[in-house]
Amino acid sequence: MHRKNQTLFIFLALFCTYFIWGSTYLAIKFGIESFPPFLMGGIRFTVAGALLYMVMRFLGSPNPTKQQWLGATAVGILLPALGNGTVCYVQQTVSSSVAALSIATAPIWMAIFASIWGHKITRREWLGIAVGLVGIVLLNVGGSLHGEIFSAFLLIFAAATWSFGSVWSKYLSMPTGLMAPACQMLTGGVALLIFSALQGEQYPAVISLKSWAAMLFLIVLGSLVAYSAYQYLLKTVRPLVASSNTFVNPIVAFGLGIWLASEHVTSTEYIALAVILVGVFLVLSAGNENIEQ
């Protein structure tokens, strides 16, 4: 029974990271129409983290130890701040669908960083990673990122920092349960607010209804629900499976970007998407050993 419940929770968590996070790219696009990018990310994660922290304390969760706060801060800086904050910045000039597709490099970095800690990637997974990499090369050679070297570098940087933090978190002292994502979002959000202030970003004088709706979506679904689901996956399944959302998110982002934001997707980007989907199939079909305690 325990095994069945765990499998159900894993599928629910994957559903959240696949479809909710896939739609956050468009929400970020709508949000930065009014908010500066780092300020928006800072407000999003600080509010979400503070809310979840207060709820967990109210429910009886102990305040994290100094060592746990340090671990949560390290992950908070790598994931919400450097990872997501960089994506928010790049989306000022890159479409939401292309940003989502570029972040699909995350499993490649996951494999490299997991290997540092002794994890052995199966041949089928390596094949999936290689196929996914071909898709990323296609995107950079013939897609919207062609000639946008700095934007492409920043998106790869975002994927790498997110991946390193995800793998490293399994070896750091971390608060238990949902207190972990609460502290990570809180510290990452504060780091973004500090960086926003250093960059001289100003709180917008006028905020559109679309941007407010996007901010609410990002706080509640994108952070409180999906980020917590991702942290559960990191503790329950292999890093490559936990990061498989980076392959599926582009499908959702493509559809929503075309439907709601009239984004243009080139034929090369469609080919890159198809190649990446083959890669995720290979990674996820690598075997039952993907789920481990």
Per the document, the length of the chain is 293
pLDDT tens for the chain, residues 1 to 293 = 467 788 889 999 999 999 999 999 999 999 999 999 999 999 999 999 999 999 999 999 999 999 999 999 999 999 999 999 999 999 998 888 888 877 777 777 877 888 788 777 888 888 988 888 888 788 777 666 666 788 888 988 999 999 999 989 989 999 999 999 999 999 999 999 999 999 999 999 999 999 999 999 999 999 999 999 999 998 888 777 887 787 788 888 888 988 888 888 888 888 888 887 788 778 767 654 443 43
The pLDDT value given to residue 33: 96
The pLDDT value given to residue 265: 80
* CA triple 197-199-205, angle to 5 deg: 65
| CA–CA dist 240, 160 (Å, integer) | 13
The pLDDT value given to residue 293: 34
Report the first-to-last Cα separation within the chain, whole angstroms. 15
Q: Are 10 and 291 in contact (CB under 8 A)?
A: yes
Per-domain residue ranges for the chain?
Answer: 2-290
The pLDDT value given to residue 221: 96
The pLDDT value given to residue 272: 84
Q: 222 in helix, strand or coil?
A: helix
Structure token digits, residue 290? 């993907």
DSSP state of 121: P
Tell me the H-state helices in the chain.
2-15, 21-31, 37-58, 66-76, 85-90, 96-102, 106-116, 123-142, 149-168, 179-198, 209-217, 226-236, 239-242, 245-261, 267-284
The pLDDT value given to residue 26: 95
Dihedral sign from CA coordinates of 139, 143, 145, 147: positive
In which region does residue 262 sit, left (phi positive, over 0), alpha (psi from -120 to 50) or beta (all else)?
left
| CA–CA dist 257, 47 (Å, integer) | 26
* CA atoms in the 13 A half-sphere facing the CB of 211: 17
The pLDDT value given to residue 185: 98
The pLDDT value given to residue 288: 42
The pLDDT value given to residue 36: 98
